[in-house]
Amino acid sequence: MINGTRFSLKYIVIIYNKMNFVCAIYAAILFFVLTPGILLSLPPKGSKMVVAATHAVVFAVVFYFTHKMVWRASMMLTMPAKEGMRQQEQEQQQQRNK
């Protein structure tokens, strides 16, 4: 069980480094809002597969054009904490190199 916990924490850290929490929440909310029948339903009389495919394309297009804006806004909100963390990491690396 402990090894499984370490394994999952390792991947959580990797995911966090690649995508911050605000962007993950944004993607989840956008996915929910663009679910068929919540905000819109395209095409109106299409089969389940056609409707699902259409909403997948709409989600991909909206996310593609807006995720950088959300990323930049979230980085401006969290920049001081990130800078402090970078400085601590640099100090630790310098101590290791001595």
pLDDT averaged per 10 residues in sequence order, the chain, 98 residues:
54 59 88 90 87 92 92 70 61 75
- Give the model's pLDDT for residue 21: 79
In 3D space, the residue among 60, 59, 66, 64 whose CA is nearest the CA of residue 36 turns out to be 59
What is the model's pLDDT at position 93? 74
Question: What is the structure's pLDDT at 1?
Answer: 45
The pTM (predicted TM-score) of the whole model is: 0.60
